[in-house]
A and B are shown apart, each in its own frame.
Chain A
């Protein structure tokens, strides 16, 4: 590629705890360079105060998500040559919908609190002395749970969601997707309180099916489809002729 020996023009949205500002950086291009490589280069060679988060560098941990040219992505799995054009301009900003701690690091407390609020945790029905239930891999519920089980809490869907942006209380796609996974877990006993939680005025019915979550999920999950499932499930509970009240 002819990008060799050229420089990227990188603009980063910064926050120092008090004021918001932008910094620009010239970063030498490399082959197979990722956006995480770019911010790391900036921190090591240009501005050591630049704050950002990462851990695994290979798309396992979900901590390096940021807005890259206006789209939420994992910086570690985003190749520079996939997101910049011939102008070599790169704009990086923190994830939306979460308070910024510093520069590209956001406070994910509320994001995780909402998982708990949505009863996004397993509610056991048996003790360790009971035999393990046999769940067939091709059973209907297992197949449904399978579609949404690989979430690693990176916050990309939450950042992509305009309903979260408009309504601070909305539980958001990640928490609701997790709730839907548990609704399809035969071993789980929390469906009653979970359906109640996701039927509240912060719950799944606020979703307008904009599909930002499903569009941007790096693990190719479909939170919007999970939320639609929750909507059906809650209605089955509300309607007098509804079934499945377990």
Chain B
């Protein structure tokens, strides 16, 4: 089936919001289990944190920050649309949300290296 009806910015914004939310929800259990290692003492948490120094884990972290930022800012856009009477340009808002999220992930990367 042709999917051309999806080729507009707000449909893409929807997909980004949905995928980022789903990924965050599925990442959270791992996040919690790692932090739970502190129950076994600082050393087990440290061994997990050393694992996160690996380049691909670091890259995954940056990506997670991007997901969180894009879900936060995209969520603010949706709240503005649904819960306020402000008729701001949704397309411009979604583009700004995405740009700002990339910037936040960039700052995180800059701080991490």
Question: Which A residues are within 8 Å of any B CB, using their own CB?
Answer: 67, 69-72, 91, 93, 160, 162, 208-212, 215-216, 224-225, 228, 231-232, 235
Contacts and interface: CB of A to CB of B under 8 A. Distances in A.
A148 to B, nearest CB: 14
* Range for the number of chain B residues in contact with chain A: 10 to 19
A146 to B, nearest CB: 14
Contacts of A67: 2, 5
Nearest to A211: B10
A70 B3 contact: yes
Contacts of B87: 225
A212 B4 CA distance: 11
Nearest to B4: A70
Interface of B: 2-6, 8, 10-11, 14, 18, 78, 81-83, 85, 87, 90
Contact of A212 (B11, B18, B81): B11
Nearest to A204: B82
Contacts, number: 49
Given A231-B82, A232-B82, A211 B6 contact: no
A145 to B, nearest CB: 15
A133 B22 CA distance: 51
Contacts of A224: 81
B19 to A, nearest CB: 13
Nearest to A205: B82
Given A209-B10, A211-B10, A216 B5 contact: yes
Contacts of A225: 87
Contact of B4 (A71, A209, A231): A71
A72 B8 contact: no
A232 B78 CA distance: 12
Contacts of A235: 83
A70 B3 CA distance: 6
A91 B2 contact: yes
11 contacts: A67-B2, A67-B5, A70-B4, A71-B4, A72-B5, A93-B2, A211-B8, A215-B10, A228-B81, A231-B83, A232-B83
Contacts of B82: 209, 228, 231-232
Given A160-B5, A162-B6, 12 more contacts: A69-B2, A70-B2, A70-B5, A93-B2, A162-B11, A209-B90, A212-B5, A212-B6, A212-B8, A215-B8, A216-B5, A232-B83
**Residue among A69, A91, A215, A216 with most chain B CB within 10 A:** A215
Nearest to A229: B85
